[in-house]
Amino acid sequence: MPLYGARSTRMATPPRNAISPTRAEDYPEWYQQVVKAADLAEASAVRGCMVIKPWGYALWERIQGQLDRMFKDTGHSNAYFPLFIPLRYLQREADHVEGFAKECAVVTHHRLEADEEGQLVPAAELDEPYVVRPTSETIIGETYAKWVQSYRDLPVLINQWANVVRWELRPRLFLRTVEFLWQEGHTAHETAEEAQQETRQMLDVYTTFAEEHMAMPVVAGEKTAAERFPGAVDTYTVEAMMQDRKALQAGTSHFMGQNFARACDISFSGRDGAISHAWTTSWGVSTRLVGGVIMSHGDDDGAVLPPRLAPHQVTILPIYKSDEQRAEVLAYCQSLVASLAEQSYAGEPVRADIDDRDLRGGEKNWQAIKRGVPIRVEVGPRDIAADAVSVGRRDRAPRDRDSLPRAAFVAAMADTLAGMQAGLLERARQLRAENTTAVRSLDELRELFNDGEGGFALAPMAPDADLRPETAAALGELKVSARCMPLSPEALGVDLPTDLPCVFGSTEDARPTLLARAY
RNA sequence: CGGGAUGUAGCCCAGCGGCUAGGGCACCUGCUUUGGGAGCAGGAGAUCGGAGGUUCGAGUCCUCUCAUCCCGACCA
């Protein structure tokens, strides 16, 4: 029998994997193919801007919903501030201007008029241009200045869900687009300590969210001087390792000191009668998290969604031939949805969806796989007769299916989902552990990133060493940046002796610092 | 914003200056199939990214332009 006969005689034989190329072959291209195959988003007619498709948006809504509750639980309220920021507002904080000036969209006119050829041209120039918000510190600061008179008006604890625009020159779906969706929390406090506590509290919220909801382990830490938010005193971040071992900044939290309060004049009469500037913070995560989910868990068959984030956790594929069978099968599926909804996973009813589209079964099955639905269930007349269901799991091979008694399947659902959620987190943790290395010198760093596997390097570094040109050059050569100074470096599980000097030769005290290539 | 590559049907691609621009997948119709990314037959779908130009003749050559991808620079 010819060895290759079976394959060559059936040209329609599907590829082994749903996604081509595989992660190992070409990771960036794999990512783009997954975004497409999982029906999450697509490039739009507007350069650099994406259309988020229903499945991708549903995923974002899950992220929003969970985070929003965590914000409310920590005492915050939602509000909404303008998209347009007067140019002079942005100008108030010098570092802030410098940080964002290069990527601002500017609105200069407020009317269109037809010229002689009937072409619409901008008319009615504005006296003062508006900037489309790249972030809202200044407009919100101006507003808080009016709201805050007394220490009794503090703290102000507000979050907004909004879109922002940063004119990026090299966009990538979800990871870096010209317009994106995010939340930005902005708070004002009476004391520095309280504001610092808020900054750290929200960093903890992001850490908890990333690990418990996204199953994405993160390293929480403080940014080095060169990586700090423009205008911030301290910037904290959560950094995650993607499957190509590069770092993704998944959220940031900033302690602004009194910089913005001074720039926007947020001042109040204190308990002692003296007038002081407030202490402010801001913190945010964006639709970039969707990219993080894909790159943390996706495999060569598409997206793999953690059960807590999956818009629905179970896809039910009804199988029938005749109309009579259809009625019977659908009724059974609907009762199955209801039974699952009576089960509670992570404090919510289990979400199941019946895919009764007029498509071939195999097609629907593969779509569910590519979209990353945790559980697939096939229900046909045979299953109904046996009161059983045929179950596939996204964390197992596509054709690996079990037949389970319906009652047992339903009763075990919460445990099954919890197991999958825990499994994803554990696997991601393991990847990070296997690819994190202690680095004691610049030579070791070069070896790791030039010849070795890369990943996360934990190295002693002075907090402002990367402001020095020679350090920036050394890092640039390796395409590496300082991601953060971890708050708990020991949790990374590598052995880095204390008291080592900065690998970049700074004479100042070094701190264990995470170095990596990054998105 | 610099360097490179690519734009031909919804998707992936073939097409040496010369007949009416092809194929695969997807789509529509019919039949056959049905626990699986189905088979056969038929059908529809393209101003070849856009604008100029060279030529008897341009998908093919030239110029400009737009978009996408890769590499840089930049990126809280």
Could you give the residue range(s) of every CATH 3.30.110.30 domain in chain A? 435-516
Report cis status (omega within 30 of 0) of the bond before A155.
yes
Task: Please give the Cα distance from A487 to A426 (Å, whole number).
Answer: 21
Task: Please give the Cα distance from A164 to A254 (Å, whole number).
Answer: 18
How far does the CA of A23 sit from the C1' of B71, in Å? 20
Task: Please give the Cα distance from A188 to A145 (Å, whole number).
Answer: 10
Could you give the residue range(s) of every CATH 3.30.930.10 domain in chain A? 30-297
Q: Please, what is the Cα angle at A483 between A282 and A309, to 5 degrees?
A: 65
Nucleotide nearest to A301 (CA to C1'): B37
Q: Please answer whether residues A319 and A388 qualify as being in contact, where contact means their C-beta atoms are separated by less than 8 angstroms.
A: no
Q: Residue A397: helix, strand or coil by DSSP?
A: coil
Listed residue (A62, A4, A35, A43) closest to A351, CA to CA: A62
Task: Please give the Cα distance from A503 to A214 (Å, whole number).
Answer: 34
pLDDT for residue A15: 47
Superfamily, domain A314-424: Anticodon-binding domain (3.40.50.800)
Class of domain A30-297: alpha beta
Listed residue (A470, A437, A469, A433) closest to A451, CA to CA: A437
Task: Please give the Cα distance from A138 to A140 (Å, whole number).
Answer: 5
Q: Please answer whether residues A239 and A217 qualify as being in contact, where contact means their C-beta atoms are separated by less than 8 angstroms.
A: no
Nucleotide nearest to A172 (CA to C1'): B69
Task: Please give the Cα distance from A191 to A198 (Å, whole number).
Answer: 11
DSSP secondary structure, A296-349, as one string: HH-BTTB----TTT-S-SEEEEE--SSHHHHHHHHHHHHHHHHHHHHSEETTEE
> By CB neighbour count within 10 A (0-12 exposed, 13-18 middle, 19+ buried), where does A419 fall?
middle
Longest dimension (CA), chain A: 95
Q: Which residues, including other chains, have CB under 8 Å from residue A426's CB and lie 6 or more apart?
A: none
How far does the CA of A177 sit from the C1' of B68, in Å? 14
Task: Please give the Cα distance from A420 to A441 (Å, whole number).
Answer: 40
**A155's torsion region: left (phi>0), alpha (psi -120 to 50) or beta?**
beta
In the numeric block, the tokens 């229900």 are attached to A379
How far does the CA of A158 sit from the C1' of B13, in Å? 53
Nucleotide nearest to A519 (CA to C1'): B75
pLDDT for residue A451: 82
Nucleotide nearest to A100 (CA to C1'): B76
Listed residue (A516, A489, A16) closest to A221, CA to CA: A489
pLDDT for residue A16: 65
Nucleotide nearest to A370 (CA to C1'): B37
pLDDT for residue A123: 86
Could you give the residue range(s) of every CATH 3.40.50.800 domain in chain A? 314-424
Q: Residue A189: helix, strand or coil by DSSP?
A: strand
- Residue nearest the C1' of B34 (CA based): A321
CATH for the A435-516 domain, from 3.40.50.1950, 3.40.50.300, 3.30.390.10, 3.30.110.30: 3.30.110.30
- Residue nearest the C1' of B1 (CA based): A169
Q: Which residues, including other chains, have CB under 8 Å from residue A311's CB and lie 6 or more apart?
A: A55, A58, A59, A61, A62, A351
pLDDT for residue A475: 92
Listed residue (A493, A495, A503, A488) closest to A239, CA to CA: A488
How far does the CA of A84 sit from the C1' of B29, in Å? 54
Nucleotide nearest to A102 (CA to C1'): B74
Listed residue (A237, A240, A197, A234) closest to A218, CA to CA: A240
- Residue nearest the C1' of B69 (CA based): A29
How far does the CA of A19 sit from the C1' of B60, in Å? 34
How far does the CA of A18 sit from the C1' of B49, in Å? 29
* Tens-level pLDDT at each residue, chain A (519 residues): 222 222 222 233 344 688 888 888 888 888 988 998 899 998 888 888 999 999 999 999 999 999 999 999 999 999 999 999 999 998 888 888 888 888 899 999 998 888 777 777 888 999 999 999 999 999 999 999 999 999 999 999 999 999 999 998 888 899 999 999 999 999 999 999 999 999 999 999 999 999 999 999 999 999 999 999 999 999 999 999 999 999 999 999 999 999 999 999 999 999 999 999 999 999 999 999 999 999 999 999 999 999 999 999 999 999 988 888 888 999 999 999 999 999 999 999 999 999 998 888 888 999 999 999 999 999 999 999 999 999 999 999 888 889 999 999 999 999 999 999 999 999 999 999 999 999 999 999 999 998 888 899 999 999 999 999 889 999 998 999 999 999 999 999 999 998 899 999 999 999 999 999 999
ipTM of the complex: 0.86
